[in-house]
Amino acid sequence: MINLNDAQAFLRDIIKEAGALTLQYRENIKTLRVEQKGTDKDLVTEADQAVESMLRQRILERYPDHAILGEEEGESGAHACRWIIDPIDGTISYLHGQYQYSVSIALEVNGHLELAAVLAPALDDLYTARRGQGAFLNGVQMRVSNTTVLGDGVLSTGFACIRAGLSETNLPLFCSMMPRIRDIRRGGSAALDLCMVASGQLDGYWEKHINLYDIAAGMLILKEAGGRVSDYRGGDDFLPQEILGTNGLIHRECMDVIKSFIKTET
């Protein structure tokens, strides 16, 4: 079986290399090759592709048998160990020269998330976690916020639904949540949003129509920081492509807002 100490050190090395590559491509951001994926709002740059390709190469050099799930190249291999990669989470932030994007990598072993790392290269912030061993920002252990009331909370969300061209959007739920909370933030990287809940900078985050590679690393990091992650109905199993991540203390109140919204929608 895999040695998790070695894998943790390896993960730290490759995510730093990936972060450096994103910064290198950003030097020529105006001439970056950009393609449309599904809809005209769903974009992929040559940097997304190059980072995933480099990460796959590094992983397979070190662990030739391992499985990999990545946003840009999909699923490969079949093995108890699976690396879950989002090479650039927050492509639109990245493409517009903003700092709120990340590289997200998790290692799943026999269906359990064991290791996670999320790096925000433009901020030089590295979030890491190992199952049962806590979560860290740049090596310093993190805890979620102690906000107990939704009205005191600053939350984040995203609109992957709209970029995916789906008719069901997050907008009605957003309108329902907004007056109940202190304020909203919209960074554009699901992975980083979860990490910011983990570090207490945010109190919660919700989004629908995201994918496992957007949130796998962030979920482990948030849980290890004492937070709670569920689907919109409070279920702990993943996740009909929807996620609510909070400090735990405001989870019930968030779910009440979301639930009443779901009821009126259906």
Would you list which residues are annotated within the binding site for Mg(2+)?
Answer: 71, 86, 88-89, 214
Indicate the burial class of 60 (C-beta count within 10 angstroms; 0-12, 13-18, 19 or more). Answer: middle
Structure tokens given for 29: 């951001």
Could you say which of ligand 2AM, Ca ion, none residue 203 binds, taking C-beta under 5 to 8 angstroms by partner kind?
none
Which residues partner with 79 through β-bridges? none
Neighbours of 189 (CB within 10 A): 30
Distance between CA 36 and CA 184 in Å, rounded?
28
Q: How far apart are the first and last CA of the chain?
A: 46
Vertex 20, ends 18 and 23: CA angle to 5°? Answer: 115
At what angle are helices 4-26 and 46-62 packed, to 10 degrees?
160
Q: Indicate whether 158 belongs to the interface with ligand 2AM (CB under 6 A).
A: yes
CB of 192 to ligand 2AM, least distance (A): 9
Binding partner of 164, given ligand 2AM, Ca ion, none, CB within 5-8 angstroms per partner class: ligand 2AM
Among positions 86-115, residues that touch ligand 2AM (CB under 6 A) are: 86, 89-91
Binding pattern for the stretch 10-39 against ligand 2AM, x by CB under 6 A and - elsewhere: ----------------------------x-
Out of 55, 66, 68, 89, name the contact with Ca ion by CB under 5 A.
89
Task: Provide the mask over 45-84, with x wherever binding to ligand 2AM is found by CB under 6 A and - wherever it is not.
Answer: --------------------------x-------------
- Give the residue, chosen from 214, 224, 231, 242, that forms a contact with Ca ion under the rule CB under 5 A: 214
Closest to ligand 2AM by CB, 90 vs 200, is 90
Residue placing its CB nearer to Ca ion in the complex, 17 or 73: 73
Instruction: State the alpha helices, DSSP H only, in 27-100.
Output: 46-62, 91-95
